[in-house]
Chain A
């Protein structure tokens, strides 16, 4: 198979995977999902490292370093902020121990 065709195949399959994995997302999670997807494209950091580390032209290195800083903001900030949001979704469930549950029920009955 032609090299470009292999890449095209990966691309097309990824499109379907991308749509398929989020097709059942509830609107509750739209914001964290958008933010998480946003963090994932921060992987351009890898590309920025590769182009910067394989050249010795001064200007190119400088531009590459700028790209690295930008991409690192995207990637690291994106994952951290997504985690911060999702943490709140988990925290509020607060599974109370069963004994406390009983006590609450008891006091409710006493009222």
Chain B
């Protein structure tokens, strides 16, 4: 029996996690929230070293355990410090995956304990164990594929092959069947096979998802891992795991739905769109239709003599590391008395809210960042909209072409502005792989070149005016 003081400490830690999530939902309280969460986690992890858990007189293998913690913590810190802000989505995916993997292993070990102890643990415990093993493995494998897609270790296009739907169904049924078997007659081997089937299912789940939809999958897998940890907490009889895991599972699911709504898609459509036949993406081939292009000097004049300018930043901006030059440009325009704002699409970047992080890194003032609903009415009054490294989020096909993969996604109404300037590297379509009609409009001008290079030239041209 766990001593009362331990249970009370766990309760306090669980409260810390609630406060952490609460804090993370507001910009002023976010950092404190995160630190409270971290403090709760550290305390909770330290507790088993100070009492006699589960009938043993003391915690065994303490030096090995501490060594493993140091190795893992060092790996985590190095990864977290080295990662570029543009690579944040894959970092989150990777951290999530290892968490899911850890949960699956913990459940397997606990299954071994249950079998060795004999007796009837109750079917509910066995259901939770099977759930943790299976879903934890799904989360691990799914996150690794997500990581590979975002890191461009493999194609970001949906991977679909004949028989995928069948393989998917077989893996799912296999998972359910093995789980049932585990509940009826718990053996370690069934648990291990269940974990392997979970890995296969995780691969099959994420492979057919297109690159643009991957962020939703990260959020969903995050929720999965949360629920896995919660189930693991029940199996171990540990309240802090149960509460923390459930919090993450519930908030992660809710967040996933919010994001899917921001993209105008349903979660089932994102996950299974490619399975139903046909790809969720277009060809991704560059078009050779005529467009109007201009040099940095011409664009500088357009911008410098405007009254109202709206910037639409996209992932391309961050990849080119042009956000610092962009801020310089906006400052210059501001000095000329021009009203400039950034229009941030909810899924700008490669993960919801990603663009805010990227611009924060360039120290863009918070007040200049306008959310989509806030700024969409203002595009019709804008003299110039400067689209930097974005494409899909201003593609009118989302409103006008029912067959388009992004149809229904709310977009920034850049097409309503008097002038639109696209800074693009090439005519290649965006992440969703479809052509953008806005590029061929009469009032659209293209400034070709690497975003950082062009932005530097643009800044100099504005300075020279």
Identify the A interface with B (CB < 8 A).
4, 7, 10-11, 14-19, 21-57, 60-61, 63-94
Contact = CB atoms under 8 A, between A and B. Distances in A.
Contacts of B31: 83, 86-87, 89-90
B227 to A, nearest CB: 9
Q: Is the interface of A mostly helix, strand, loop or mixed?
A: helix
B76 A72 contact: yes
B24 interface: yes
B150 interface: no
B444 interface: no
Interface string B37-61: 1100100110110000111100111
Contacts of A48: 102, 105-106
B38 A47 contact: no
A66 B85 CA distance: 28
A84 B99 contact: no
Contacts of B105: 48, 63-64, 66-67, 70
A77 B76 CA distance: 4
Interface stretch (B172-180, B349-357, B383-391): B349-357
Given A34-B219, A40-B41, A86-B30, A55 B76 contact: no
Nearest to A69: B72
23 contacts: A10-B239, A11-B230, A15-B246, A29-B353, A31-B352, A31-B354, A35-B91, A36-B33, A38-B248, A41-B99, A46-B241, A47-B241, A51-B109, A52-B64, A52-B65, A57-B112, A61-B64, A65-B65, A76-B77, A77-B80, A81-B79, A84-B81, A85-B357
B365 interface: yes
A63 B68 CA distance: 11
Contacts of A18: 21, 246-251, 254
Contacts of B230: 11, 14
B95 A73 contact: yes
Interface in B295-349: 344, 346, 349
B232 interface: yes
A38 B345 CA distance: 23
A19 to B, nearest CB: 5
A30 B352 contact: yes
Contact of A82 (B34, B219, B242): B34
Contacts of A27: 258, 262, 344, 346, 352-353, 356, 371
Contacts of A92: 360, 363-366
Q: Please indicate which of the listed interface residues B239, B252, B258 has the most CB atoms of chain A within 10 Å of its own CB.
A: B252
Contacts of B366: 89, 92-93
A86 B445 CA distance: 36
Given A29-B30, A53-B60, A79 B65 contact: no
Given A21-B25, A56-B60, A61-B64, A28 B371 contact: yes
A31 B222 CA distance: 12
B92 A91 contact: no
B27 A29 contact: yes
B153 interface: no
Given A67-B109, A70-B102, A89-B31, A4 B124 contact: yes
